[in-house]
Amino acid sequence: MKDQKMEQKSTRKVWQDKAYQMEIPELLRAVESPVETGLSSVDVAKRQAEYGSNALEVEKHSSLLEKFIEQFKDFMIIILLAAAAVSLFASHEWHDAVIILLVVVLNAIMGVIQEAKAEEAIDALKEMASPDAKVRRNGNVETIKSHELVPGDIVLLEAGDIVPADMRLLEANSLKVEEAALTGESVPVDKDIAPITLEDAGIGDRKNMVYSGTNVTYGRAVAVVTAIGMDTEVGHIANMLAHAEKTKTPLQRDQDRLGKSLTIMILAIAAVTFVVGLLRGRAITDMLLVSISLAVAAIPEGLPAISTIILSLGTRSMAERKALVRTLPAVETLGGTQVICSDKTGTLTLNQMTIEKVYFDGKLQDRSVEIPAENPLLRSLVLANDSKLDGEGKLIGDPTETAMVQFALDQHFPLQENESKYPRVQELPFDSSRKLMSTFHPMGGEFLFCTKGAPDQLLQRCSHIVENGEVRPLTEEDRKAILSENTKMAREALRVLAGAYQICNAVPDSPRSEEVEQNLIFAGLVGMIDPERKEAAAAIAVAKGAGVRTVMITGDHAETAQAIAERLGILPMGEDNRCHVLTGAELEMMSDEELEKKVPEISVYARVSPEHKVRIVRAWQKNGKIVSMTGDGVNDAPALKQADIGVGMGITGTEVSKGASDMVLADDNFETIVVAIEEGRKVFSNIQKAVQYLLSANFGEVITLFVATLLGWTILQPVHILWINLVTDVFPAIALGMEKAEPDVMQRKPREKSSSFLSNGVLESILYQGVLEGGLTLFIYWMAGQYFHEENLSETMAFATLGLLQLFHAFNVKSVFRSLFNGNPLDNIYLNGAALLSAFLLLGVIVTPGINQFFDVTPPSLMQWAIVFGISFSIIVFVEIAKAIFRTMRKQA
């Protein structure tokens, strides 16, 4: 992994990779950039020539025509084109060839549309760049377009700016940067200028760096550009997206395998039939037509179209349940998902800091406790706070501060009244070294001094404590009790802040911490966290019951991640789970082979980078698992693309993550993923039913023609096979795609990656059911010849029986093993309608004058029709007996 990284960055300067470790004077000498004046125009021109533009490279997209041609390289499509050619040129059945070609073209058009949408991911990354940047050049402060930046530029940053390039901080005044889209960390990061001594520190630990595409939420800074364009961390993600492995979905792999197997079978049977016929003295042209009939009978030419229709129906159903599918095969892939690698922030959690615990008057209580508006803790947290309500009544500001104000509002605290009554007249802004913020507010003839910040720092400055409205000296026992509660909340991964206040007589013109932040009155503590979504824990439990493993991946610290995982049920409560948590630093030390062995034991990954997420997904895939990756940030995009199915967030997700995803959750609800898995399982089951129906029907036709040829019978003509395929294949198969989910669909284990449409008893069912259909067709042909002594009538009865057998059989495949009569056999109104329509079209050509002459068939008598229907219905009886035997064998096994 490290070797790959070094190889990718071999053209970079040493100082670009080590900027966060270097002392500022050393870095400035290396980059040759004066802080006071910035670069000169000559320097800028040279560096633009050397480093290029500060913009992301976008891979050249193939044209629509190239995309369209690419769709025809699929193996099954090639088979279908060959079948169309045979139908057109050998048997002159142009209508069948036209139908096949329409199916192929429709699939190609849909494939082009889906591929074009997928290319939006990297384009969206390009749009993240800041349009402007404020820099020092030629001794002046200038505003330039961000794409004009070069390494060495001195950039000025302030709250509200989007960072335009990767930069090392030279000066930082109370700087906070929101990096969730890049690192996954849920709260803005406090930045400083001290060098990082840790070798290979992760992005989230480089407190002296700011990165392209992140947002400055608080404070001001001066920084020097260290990387631009594709050399930035966002550029590195874009490069990973552009070179991500393109893997086929399980559905595509299944169709490829099925197509190859069918081809071998078709060629073998057609060749044997052709040779046998010649040996029996039949004409070459006659046997060529028979072989063509066999080929057409064996190929399920409607399968790609039927699969597409079933997937489309699943897509519509998922959209109604807030899961928007961007690529059709993703519907089926969801059903096979075995592992969900989920981002924490915004996916499993709300991405909204919330106060959960509050400590005052010597008691630790949850957020539901009622606190009076005059409570000193509540007032201190609200007044020493920079959050504001916008015109729509929405809180804006630092997530930690907005959480405090929201908590006060939930307590019915009169916010606007207090802001008017106690206006801010002076302040000491937050500083990362002292970790405190203080404000002055007039109160009668005196001033209220409010302070909030880190409990350990604030407690050192307190000399008194308020309890139940009474102020008394702070004792050593009080300090121990407060620190004990602080530790208790911290162990639950809560971020703890303290509040204090003081009444003073005057406000200094230039207040200093060592003078005013002393002898404070301790008011209490609050513990906050980005809480889990209420429905996430239940959804994870449902997924677990369905055999789907949930793995949490986050940029947060290990303790926070572990606590959230325990609350969600990803890790068991009350146990030492540290062995199931892996940090990015620990992962970095592991080889891909070591990670592949370790990955089944790990349920939580913390402080990880985008490369780590991709490695985790690959490790699961190398363990033979079908992996879903969820996420909403830029940092999730490479893993979303690498996964078998990437799931983006529709509300909080960046355009980059949505563009790299196969499915987008319109409600950002983890529960929707589980709903989608259920729908995906139903879709796969229904495609499997369509495959079983089509292949058993086609196999029955092959058996009929092959055995008839061996016996020297002329049982069916090519036009009969083509018509049966046309009217009995498509409609019932599509209707089977609209079957409801079977009751136990979410109690089954996910299918293995190595499984296919033919697994779990389907292949065996296809074989015996095809033999039954072929045998019954051959039987009625023989019987008609024996009793009615009319060759044309025998062919007609065989033709009608084979078609009706398939229509009755469509009801058999509503379940592989479950009895048709366990429920209502006619509960699928679409299948009922399809069977009636197909029967009408099938039998219509037999009884309609003129048309029956074209098909060379003779209308049977009522008795003969009764025999045809009786033999056709018997397929249900025979299959029910076989299912009962299979169920008994499975129970005994």
> 480: burial class by Cβ within 10 Å (0-12, 13-18, 19+)?
exposed
93 pLDDT exceeds 70?
Answer: no
Strands 520-529 and 495-504: antiparallel
CB 718 within 8 A of CB 293: yes
Query: What's the rounded Cα separation, in Å, for the pair 730 and 727?
Result: 7
What does the pLDDT read at residue 116?
58
Residues counted in the chain: 893
Report pLDDT for 103. 55
Task: Extract the tokens encoding 441.
Answer: 């507010």
The share of the chain scoring above pLDDT 70, in percent, equals 84
Average pLDDT over residues 69-84: 62
Could you tell me the pLDDT band of residue 596, with boundaries at 50, 70 and 90?
very high
342-363: average pLDDT = 87
- The upper half-sphere exposure of residue 530, i.e. CA atoms within 13 Å in the direction of its Cβ, equals 23
Percentage above 90 pLDDT, the chain: 35
Residue 120 to residues 95, 354, 465, Cα–Cα distance (Å): 39, 34, 58
DSSP string spanning 643-705? SSEEEEETTT--HHHHHT-SEEETT--HHHHHHHHHHHHHHHHHHHHHHHHHHHHHHHHHHHH
pLDDT in tens, 744-798: 888 888 877 667 777 778 888 899 999 999 999 999 999 998 998 888 899 999 9
Query: Binning pLDDT at 50, 70 and 90, where does residue 118 land?
Result: very low
pLDDT at 871 over 60: yes
208 compared with 93, residue with greater pLDDT: 208
- How deeply is 453 buried, as exposed, middle or buried, from its count of CB atoms within 10 A (0-12, 13-18, 19+)? buried
Query: Does the pLDDT value for residue 194 go beyond 50?
Result: yes
Per mean pLDDT, which range of 79-88, 513-522, 604-613, 875-884 is the poorest?
A: 79-88
| CA-based R_g, the chain, Å | 36
Catalytic residues: 343
Residue 90 identity (one-letter amino acid): A
3-state secondary structure 459-474: HHCEEEEEECCEEEEC
Top mean pLDDT of 17-31, 227-241, 320-334, 716-730 is at 17-31
Q: Which residues of 227-245 are buried (b: 16+ CB within 10 A; e: fewer)?
A: bbbbbbbbbbbbbbbbebe
Q: Kindly indicate the confidence band of residue 273, based on its pLDDT and cuts at 50, 70 and 90.
A: confident
Q: Average pLDDT of 468-479?
A: 94
Helices (H) and strands (E) in the chain, counts: 35, 26
**Least trusted range by pLDDT, from 25-29, 213-217, 427-431, 734-738:** 213-217
- Of 884, 671, 870, 717, give the one whose Cα is nearest residue 783: 870
CA distance 23 to 42: 27
| Residue 431 confidence (pLDDT) | 79
CB 117 within 8 A of CB 101: no
Alpha-carbon distance values, 819 to 291, 811, 822 (Å): 37, 10, 5
pLDDT band for position 407 (cuts 50, 70, 90): very high
pLDDT averaged over the chain?
83
- Give tens-digit pLDDT for 230-260: 888 888 877 776 665 555 556 666 666 776 7
DSSP label at residue 204: G
pLDDT for 532: 86
Task: Give the residue with greater pLDDT, 791 vs 61.
Answer: 791
Task: Of 4-18, 44-58, 301-315, 439-453, give the lowest mean pLDDT range.
Answer: 4-18
Question: Quick check: 585 pLDDT over 80?
Answer: yes
Confidence of residue 114 (pLDDT cuts 50, 70, 90): very low
The answer to whether 683 touches 332, Cβ cutoff 8 Å, is yes
pLDDT tens digits for 717-730?
767 877 887 788 77
pTM over 0.85: no
Average pLDDT score over residue span 445-455: 94
| 531 Cβ contact partners less than 8 Å away, ≥ 6 residues apart | 349, 350, 352, 354, 356
Q: How sure is the predictor about 341, in pLDDT bands with cuts at 50, 70 and 90?
A: very high
Residue 9 has pLDDT above 50, yes or no: no
91-119 average pLDDT score: 58
Residue 361 predicted with pLDDT over 80 = yes
Give yes or no for residue 136 having a pLDDT over 50: yes
Whether pLDDT at 855 is above 70: yes
pLDDT at 126 over 50: no
pLDDT in the model for residue 271: 81
Query: What pLDDT is attached to residue 130?
Result: 45
